[in-house]
Structure 1
Amino acid sequence: MDSLSPLLEQTHTTESVAVIRLRGQQVEKTEDIVAEETPIGIEYNGVPFVVMLASPQDLEDFAIGFSLTEGIVKSVDQIKSVAIEELEAGIRVAVNIDEKRFAILDSRRQNLAGRTGCGLCGTERIAQVFKPMSEVNTTFTLAHDHLQRALEEMRHFQPLQQITGATHAAFWVNARGQIMLAREDVGRHNALDKLFGAMAQQAYDFEHGAVLVTSRASYEMVQKSIQMGVGILVAVSGPTALAIRMADEYQLTLVGFSRSHSQVIYTHPQRITEEQGVKLS
């Protein structure tokens, strides 16, 4: 259960606050549990790189996933260590990477001041938004009824959302529609980075499964999925036009407005089948 749905035993993930709750004509003074949001400063080889606002849990997963999806490293083997230090104003995540990768990073280094998981905030040059990527090359397919199974089960793997109602989640789904791994965060991009970081550490095959996210499918979510070689991205909310164009160009199957009994397939529908091995007409 630990790998599927991270335990909330880690400190500072939630906070109890005094609130006034209104129900009809009733006024009640009570307590509410809210999700914590903390500045997370990631540095590489001692050089500050980015500050993100994120949920202060699974930060090693976050650092590794961010490093992979941003192209800072090409594989988890190029990350030598991750050290986490709690500071008065936030959390410092010190990542030590291969010297050759750091030399490349240093040549294009930027300092970002991100909002909650904002993948664009602070980008200095427009060209940096769109990273060079390869087309997705996987024959993995997911039967429609198995997709529905995952959509029905995902609520069971969101403990932080159940407590606070303020977080997103990203899930790794196998060919039978089973949720194999889940990560949560106040930011949708952060949740996806945490998922990919956990997958990389546990040697998951990115080409043999699907990603399910509780958010909309923005271009960043599509871009991160393509970067990791994932073939299917399923979003609970809708995609943007840019996300659809990017998914179409790089051969990603993009599914939006996903509920247990209804979905919209935007690109490359051949990976979603009526049953195992039978393509939708």
Structure 2
Amino acid sequence: MPVEGARPFALREHYADGSPASAIARELIEEAPVAIEINGVGYAVMMATPIDLEDYALGFCLSEQLIASPDEFVSAHAAPVEAGGWMLRIQLAASGAGPLLERARLRLSEGSCGLCGIESLEQVMRPLVPVAARLEVEPAAMFCAAEALGDRQALGKVTRAAHAAALCAADGTILLVREDVGRHNALDKLLGAAARAGVSVSGHFILLTARCSFELVQKAVIAQVPLLVTISAASTLAVDQARAHGLRLVSLARRDSLLEA
């Protein structure tokens, strides 16, 4: 069965033991430029996997703090363009026009980062509203979610190249999963999917397959996520920002251990 977000390629496999190379068909993850246009203004060009783009549109606008709530999000329409890539046209309510016009610029963010429209160190390190929500989650629930996530990664299973973001209940049950070639995009897609479904992230925790960077912590704090769990390690700035803003941060969540900041 074809998996959305992947395409088959004919490749040649070489072997370390010197055996003759063989031709194989392999599913590769799609990566494409996605031009984001908001209220008719070019805002950013992101490298992303062009699936769940309506979820991505809402999550991106929330993470960028262009809107304060999903009620200010009007619509999103995604379509491929002839030159290659995708155009994602977003319409926000008039209340979102102020932040948009102040920060809008067309730029290519090759790392799909969470810092679009930022032009100074002061803006990057701006104080955020501390996380108010608290959620009691035992390590056993985190291990449970981490163990179950692999079976929920349709794109990751066939390509071995997709990041995943999962919304989890306090007992470790996975409720929603979104995937993308970029870890920031996967998180934005998840936040948008939760908002579209009317599920409050403040009553759940988020599990990511990625290393934990500053931008992911920033997005989690803005969304008021009480607990962020990552499969890989955290950076120094990620830990500093999580502690400064009341976000419970767990990294290197493996089968037998995890690290809590």
TM range, smaller chain: over 0.9
Question: Shift of residue 138 of structure 1?
Answer: 1.5
CA distance in 2, matches of 1:127, 1:167: 32
CA distance in 2, matches of 1:140, 1:250: 15
Native 8 Å contact 2:202 2:224 kept in 1:
yes
Counterpart for residue 43 of structure 1: 37
Native 8 Å contact 2:167 2:207 kept in 1:
yes
Q: Over the residues paired in the alignment, what is the CA RMSD in angstroms?
A: 1.6
Query: Please, which of 118, 122, 129 is the counterpart of residue 124 of structure 2?
Result: 129
Counterpart for residue 104 of structure 1: 99
1:165-244 aligned at under 5 Å gives the runs 165-244=160-239
For the pair 1:77 / 2:90, whether they are aligned, the reply is no
Relative to its length, the structure with more strand (as a share) is 1
Native 8 Å contact 2:3 2:155 kept in 1:
no
Amino acid at match of 1:85: A
For the pair 1:68 / 2:62, whether they are aligned, the reply is yes
Native 8 Å contact 1:39 1:90 kept in 2:
yes
Amino acid at match of 1:25: G
Question: Shift of residue 104 of structure 1?
Answer: 2.8
Percent of residue pairs identical: 34
Question: Shift of residue 8 of structure 1?
Answer: 6.3
Query: Please, which of 91, 98, 102 is the counterpart of residue 86 of structure 2?
Result: 91
CA distance in 2, matches of 1:49, 1:131: 20
Query: Please, which of 8, 11, 34 is the counterpart of residue 16 of structure 1?
Result: 8
Q: Runs of 5+ in structure 1 lacking a partner?
A: 1-6, 267-281
Amino acid at match of 1:15: R
CA distance in 1, matches of 2:257, 2:99: 44
Provide closer, same or farther for how the CA distance between residues 134 and 123 of structure 1 changes in structure 2, counting only shifts above 3 A. closer
Counterpart for residue 247 of structure 2: 252
CA distance in 1, matches of 2:158, 2:137: 31
Deviates more, 1:93-102 or 1:195-204: 93-102
Counterpart for residue 139 of structure 2: 144
Amino acid at match of 2:150: R
Native 8 Å contact 1:171 1:181 kept in 2:
yes
Q: How many residues align?
A: 258
Superposed CA offset, 1:40-64 (max 9, x none): 1111111110100100100000010
CA distance in 1, matches of 2:164, 2:103: 31
CA distance in 2, matches of 1:107, 1:162: 41
CA distance in 1, matches of 2:221, 2:244: 10
Amino acid at match of 1:154: L
Native 8 Å contact 2:103 2:117 kept in 1:
no
CA distance in 2, matches of 1:132, 1:112: 24
Counterpart for residue 18 of structure 2: 25
Deviates more, 1:100-109 or 1:207-216: 100-109
Question: Shift of residue 206 of structure 1?
Answer: 1.5
Question: Shift of residue 207 of structure 1?
Answer: 1.2
Q: Runs of 5+ in structure 2 lacking a partner?
A: none
Question: Shift of residue 103 of structure 1?
Answer: 2.5
Amino acid at match of 1:194: K
CA distance in 2, matches of 1:158, 1:117: 20
TM-score by length of 1: 0.88
Question: Shift of residue 119 of structure 1?
Answer: 2.8
**SS of 1:243 mapped into structure 2:** helix
CA distance in 1, matches of 2:134, 2:156: 33
CA distance in 2, matches of 1:196, 1:34: 25
**SS of 1:212 mapped into structure 2:** strand
Native 8 Å contact 2:11 2:26 kept in 1:
yes
